[in-house]
Structure 1
Amino acid sequence: MSDAYLSLEKLTLAYGDTVAVGNLDLDIGKGELIALLGPSGCGKTTTMRAIAGLLPVKSGHIRLDGTDMTRTPPNKRAVGLVFQSYALFPHLSVYENVAFGLKLKGMRGSELDQKVRGGLTSVGLSSFADRKPAELSGGQQQRVALARSMVMEPKVLLLDEPLSNLDARLRLEMRTELQRVQKETGVTMIFVTHDQTEALSLADRIVVMKNGAIEQIGTPEDIYNRPASAFVADFVGFENIFALDQGKLKTEHGLADPSGALPGEALSAAGLAWRPRMVTLGSGPFRGTVRGTSFAGDRREYLLASDLGPIKAEVDASEPVHAPDAEIAFDLPAAKAAPLKRFA
């Protein structure tokens, strides 16, 4: 038995006869901020729903703070849940929304008032207590939903795609807000997302999921710089990915020698991956034809057709522009590549 604060042990979850998550093991420490990251259908939301008690467990165990809560009803789990839609009561004020769960627990009077106002203060909404949800921005509604869960003092707080309904500026603000609240309260927090930027900027550790299983667990730096598989590499922005066969790149036209000596850890790797910005344009042993270009502010992105297959490159926008159909030399420096332990 694990001594982790929250432990998922050989967890299998299913919808009817269809297994959505199979034999999953995951240990989470007290006070950690964890991201479940992956594409639609990978099992991340299903796992979160099982932790909340909203989905029955087919087999395995969920243990929280030393107690097996696999069969515990949702309202007895001390687990908070912030929905993607926020699920605020439109006819109730901000104050009443935050107080709702506490009233169900029987809290009244000055104790209730102190708790609600403390919750609103923690998310910076003290002056919005009398407003209705329709009078708030998306970011403010998100904070109300967060305060409503936090005043219940959950042992674990679950957030389902918490920032997906916000515009880019508000997403940045709410990332900071979530981090602040989590660090100040010390609550164990798990959030589900398909956005790698969101996961990298918020989480202490990231759990990358694929087909109902964990593909890789690591710090944001580990996931970003040292993906374990081609799937993870592709998901976090390595767009030039090649399998290795006896130290050579497997390409659309056969095997090709990598440029430069392979670093030690790459000698036994299953594949190599390069981000577009790792590609050298204008020099190198390979040739490509410009098939597409796009301006992206401080950088310019290129799509090349080559004997290696499609290559995506990225250079500083101040560099000379390569015209469509121009032939250009390029390099995939072996020293810059991320070695992949698994390619499948």
Structure 2
Amino acid sequence: MSDATYLTLEKLTLAYGKTAAVENLDLSIHRGELLALLGPSGCGKTTTMRSIAGLMPVRSGKIVLDGRDITRVSANKREIGLVFQSYALFPHLTVFENVAFGLRLQGMSGAALTEKVEAGLKTVGLSDFAARKTPDLSGGQQQRVALARSLVMQPKVLMLDEPLSNLDARLRLEMRTELQRVQKESGVTMIFVTHDQVEALALADRIVVMRNGAIEQIGTPEEIYNQPASSFVADFVGFENITAVKDGMLVGPAGEVKASGPLPQAAGLAWRPRSIPLGSGPYKGTVRGVSYAGSSREYVLETPLGPVKAEVDAALPAYALGTELAFDLPPEAAAPLQKMD
């Protein structure tokens, strides 16, 4: 991945009628980067993707790609590839013809077209499937056809909309690896839209977390996972215990509670369930839920700070519902949050 800015969104505002879906968004994307737009439904991530591709008109702001202002350029002249969630393949055509479709529209034919398509199929590992019809392929194979069809057009940016959502769990794991391989080998700048934080963490060089049409946080997967900036991001990436901080005290529904150690300067603290020690500590809670998860057991405690979720080794003795337990919320194990909702 290059450090050079390749695609820039400047004060981008997008709207449906009078309702702004994205407002004054600034984002710089590097050449050769694999970037994830992550967030819940309605946060503006797909709208942003559609505007980059030229499928969504821009109310105000600017989109610059490789030094060229493409804000008002038509979609077919932006040199941007799209892989849709549905793959949008032609069922009556062979794999070869699906991949060749865009090239034929550009006037390519003969040996040049064959060479290009075969190279594209080789890139995604489908050289032996050229003669098959797409309905005869698995979901993962269909996705690779869609990927090859976009790649042979040599786009400056390749965009994928929820690329793994139609696949089962095993295929999702396989396709994560495949997408990373293809992206790194081709060097194409890739942006994918997802609501799945595990998918974004596993694939992306950087993650843009979006909320209500704005960017909540940008960072590497490690930064997003370990250093969430707000309670929204913390909750989205699996911090299930989030507490406000006020005047050196933890704040819960029942009021303020003294912390078990010195607190950092922060608006709030967030703990993952596995960071909560059970069986010892200054706090008391009552077991209201127990879930067996194979290697671990998860507990939900009713406490003065609200529900607290803890995860412990399944080999440890189990606690029954209604058991009163000591527990701790060690400040040193928490992620400090800059902003609380």
**TM-score > 0.5 by shorter chain:** yes
For 1:62, the equivalent position in structure 2 comes to 63
Alignment of 1:285-300 (within 5 A): 285-300=282-297
Alignment correspondent of 1:79? 80
User: Which residue of structure 2 lines up, in the alignment, with residue 235 of structure 1?
Assistant: 236
1:182 aligns with 2:183: yes
Structure 1 match to 2:306: 309
Match in the other structure for 1:108 = 109
1:94 Cα deviation after fit: 0.4
> Which stretch of the first structure deviates more once superposed, 78-87 or 242-251?
242-251
1:125 equivalent in alignment to 2:126: yes
Provide, for residues 138-193 of structure 1, a one-character-per-residue CA deviation record: whole Å limited to 9, x for no partner.
Answer: 00000000000000000000000000000000000000000000000110000000
Distance 1:274 1:257 in 2: 16
- Quick one: which amino acid aligns to residue 172 of structure 1? L
Separation (CA, whole Å) in 2 of partners of 1:136 and 1:31: 30
Tell me the residue number matched to 1:42. Answer: 43
**Superposed displacement of residue 4, structure 1:** 1.8
* Paired letter, 1:343: M
Shift of 1:297: 1.1
What letter is aligned with 1:255?
A: E
Offset at 1:106?
0.4
Cα distance in 2 for residues equivalent to 1:44 and 1:78: 20
* Aligned match of 1:337: 334
Aligned residue for 1:198? Answer: 199
Whether 2:268 is the aligned partner of 1:271: answer: yes
Q: Matched residue of 2:5: which SS?
A: coil
For 2:259 and 2:157, the matched residues in 1 are separated by: 47
Shift of residue 99 of structure 1?
A: 0.1
Q: Could you tell me the TM-score, scaled by structure 1's length?
A: 0.98
Question: 1:320-331 residue pairs with structure 2 within 5 A?
Answer: 320-331=317-328
Q: CA deviation at 1:259?
A: 1.5
Shift of 1:208: 0.1
Give the Cα separation in 2 of the matches to 1:226 and 1:275: 12
2-side partners of 1:46 and 1:83: how far apart?
13
Alignment of 1:120-159 (within 5 A): 120-159=121-160
Q: Give aligned pairs, total.
A: 339
SS at match of 2:261: coil
User: Aligned partners of 2:14, 2:39: CA distance in 1, in Å?
Assistant: 17
Partner Cα separation in structure 2 for residue 168 and residue 161 of structure 1:
14
C-alpha distance in 1, partners of 2:181/2:87?
Answer: 19
Structure 1 CA distance for aligned equivalents of residues 154 and 115 of structure 2: 14
CA distance, structure 1, for counterparts of residue 249 and residue 76 of structure 2: 56
**Letter of the structure 1 residue corresponding to residue 93 of structure 2:** L
What one-letter code is carried by the residue in structure 2 that aligns with 1:28? I
Letter in 2 for 1:329: A
In the aligned structure 1, how far is the partner of 2:313 from the partner of 2:260?
22
Secondary structure, aligned partner of 1:164: coil
In structure 2, list runs of 5 or more residues that go unmatched.
none
What whole-Å deviation, never above 9, does each CA across 1:283-330 have from its counterpart, x for those lacking one? Answer: 001111111111111111111101111001101111110001111111
Which residue does the alignment assign to 1:172? 173
Q: Deviations over 1:101-160 (max 9, x none)?
A: 000000000000000000000000000001111100000000000000000000000000
The residue number in structure 2 matching 1:215 is 216
Letter in 2 for 1:281: L
Superposed CA offset, 1:192-217 (max 9, x none): 00000000000000000000000000
CA RMSD of aligned residues (A): 0.9
> 2-side partners of 1:257 and 1:180: how far apart?
50
**1: CA distance, partners of 2:11 / 2:247:** 36
Calculate percent identity across the aligned residue pairs: 72
* 1:245 CA drift (Å): 0.6
CA shift at 1:17, angstroms? 0.6
Letter in 2 for 1:30: R
The 2-side partners of 1:293 and 1:93 are apart by 51
For residue 5 of structure 1, give the secondary structure of its aligned residue in structure 2: strand
